[in-house]
């Protein structure tokens, strides 16, 4: 069987790079994108930062006040997260990826696996040029840089990608897998977090090579059957998981600014009802059902939040959108003290309606 050629693309310092894209003068300055909790002007955490800020020791997850302290005396720029904008950029790049891959699996807003086996006829040498071509095309069309890892499966592509950032391109051929993995610490494997790596450490397992040498029965005894087997295979670079086509992340939504900032649910829902009218019209043309209702809110300080709920069963009516959005807003308002400036509502996870007969048989099967 021909080996697979799998890529993982991960956008560089993504939220901060998006901010540089719409305001290029930021490029030479430290840029910190933060989630502001709203209690005080500086309470909150760093979402991400550009590499200029990272040089000063700024890291994702760090409290904002600490980032401010580290960047004292610089021309640092602090910005609130704008998920809507980052998702738009992400969607455009994912769209380009689709045209380059046999199958594409989007794993997050800034990461996707591409199975390019067919496009490069199984050749890792060709994969190198192909990856460069994708990078150039995205840079030209969208203006965003990213890092690519290439390997015979998702596991290796991911670790290859992590090994050289930003704007990296790391290719690990099937022959190189063993030497590549052996010296790496075990926590580079997906699924080895703090707790498991501490456990492994206590068993004398530090590197992936150490892990590969542990008897499979011992791994199963300690970690259970499925995790034990996974570690046994992963340490050898074996991973058969296919790149699972995720399809277009389709949803229908509207967003709008309120006449004035408010926390009044009836004012918010009046705006949402207008948006639902719009959405519903677009939705009925599809002749499908939706399984997800979501809301977005942008607060007075311009920080943004999205919430969604998956319905117990698919729905087609307007009322369910209304009820779901109201419930989500009520819950959300209870969590924050800030007034809301912009609101939005969306539906998604569309499914084709099941024919009546199918519904009946599934009813009999489950009862």
Instruction: Judge whether 111 counts as a catalytic residue.
Output: yes
Q: Which is nearer to Ca ion, 14 or 100 (CB)?
A: 14
The answer to whether residue 12 forms part of the interface with ligand DCP (CB under 6 A) is yes
- What residues make contact with Ca ion under the rule CB under 5 A? 10-11, 14, 110-111
Interacting partner of 38 out of Ca ion, ligand DCP, none (Cβ under 5 to 8 A depending on kind) = none
The answer to whether residue 193 forms part of the interface with ligand DCP (CB under 6 A) is no
From 5-13, 19-27, 277-285, 333-341, give the range in contact with ligand DCP by CB under 6 A.
5-13
The answer to whether residue 15 forms part of the interface with ligand DCP (CB under 6 A) is yes
Q: Minimum distance between the CB of residue 224 and ligand DCP, rounded to whole angstroms?
A: 28
The answer to whether residue 223 forms part of the interface with ligand DCP (CB under 6 A) is no
Q: Catalytic one among 41, 72, 111, 250? A: 111
| Buried-state track 85-103, b at ≥16 Cβ within 10 A, e below 16 | ebeebbeebbeebbebbeb
The answer to whether residue 20 forms part of the interface with ligand DCP (CB under 6 A) is no
Q: Which of 22, 297, 40 is nearest to 144 (CA)?
A: 22
Using CB under 6 A as the binding criterion, the count of chain residues that bind ligand DCP stands at: 13
Residues 79-118: x where in contact with ligand DCP by CB under 6 A, - otherwise, as a string = -------------------------------x--------
Q: Minimum distance between the CB of residue 48 and Ca ion, rounded to whole angstroms?
A: 8
Q: Minimum distance between the CB of residue 88 and Ca ion, rounded to whole angstroms?
A: 17
Footprint of ligand DCP on residues 23-62 (CB under 6 A)?
A: 47-48, 60-61
Q: Minimum distance between the CB of residue 132 and ligand DCP, rounded to whole angstroms?
A: 19
- Contact with ligand DCP (CB under 6 A) among 165, 188, 206, 305: 165
Q: Which is nearer to Ca ion, 11 or 100 (CB)?
A: 11
Which residues in this chain contact ligand DCP in the complex, by CB under 6 A? 10-15, 47-48, 60-61, 110, 165-166
Q: Would you please indicate which residues are annotated as catalytic (active-site) residues?
A: 111
């Amino acid at each position: 069987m021909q080996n697979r050629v799998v890529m993982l693309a991960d956008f560089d310092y993504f939220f901060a790079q998006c901010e540089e894209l719409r305001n290029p003068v930021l490029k030479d300055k430290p840029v910190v994108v933060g989630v502001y909790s709203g209690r005080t002007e500086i309470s909150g955490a760093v979402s991400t930062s550009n590499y200029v800020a990272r040089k000063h020791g700024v890291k994702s997850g760090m409290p904002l006040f600490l980032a401010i302290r580290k960047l004292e005396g610089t021309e640092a720029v602090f910005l609130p997260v704008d998920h809507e904008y980052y998702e738009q950029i992400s969607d455009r790049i994912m769209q380009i990826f689709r045209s380059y891959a046999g199958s594409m699996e989007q794993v997050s807003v800034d990461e996707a696996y591409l199975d390019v086996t067919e496009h490069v006829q199984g050749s890792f040498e060709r994969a190198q040029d192909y990856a460069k071509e994708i990078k150039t095309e995205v840079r030209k069309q969208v203006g965003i840089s990213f890092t690519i890892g290439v390997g015979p499966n998702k596991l290796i592509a991911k670790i290859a990608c992590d090994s050289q950032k930003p704007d990296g391109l790391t290719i690990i051929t099937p022959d190189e897998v063993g030497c590549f993995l052996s010296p790496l610490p075990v926590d580079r494997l997906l699924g080895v977090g703090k707790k498991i790596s501490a456990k492994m450490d206590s068993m004398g397992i530090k590197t992936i090579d150490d892990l590969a040498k542990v008897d499979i029965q011992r791994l199963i005894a300690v970690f259970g059957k499925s995790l034990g087997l996974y570690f046994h295979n992963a340490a050898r670079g074996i991973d058969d998981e296919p790149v699972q086509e995720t399809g277009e992340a389709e949803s229908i939504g509207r967003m709008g600014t309120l006449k004035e900032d408010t926390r009044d649910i009836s004012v918010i829902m009046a705006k949402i009802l207008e948006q639902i009218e719009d959405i519903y019209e677009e939705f009925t043309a599809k002749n499908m059902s939706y399984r997800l209702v979501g809301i977005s809110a942008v607060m007075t300080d311009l920080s943004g939040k999205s919430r969604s709920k998956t319905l117990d069963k698919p729905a087609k009516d307007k009322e369910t959108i209304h009820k779901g959005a109201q419930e989500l807003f009520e819950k959300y308002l209870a969590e924050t003290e800030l007034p809301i400036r912009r609101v939005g509502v969306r539906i998604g996870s569309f499914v084709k309606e099941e024919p009546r007969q199918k519904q009946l048989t599934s009813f009999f099967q489950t009862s």
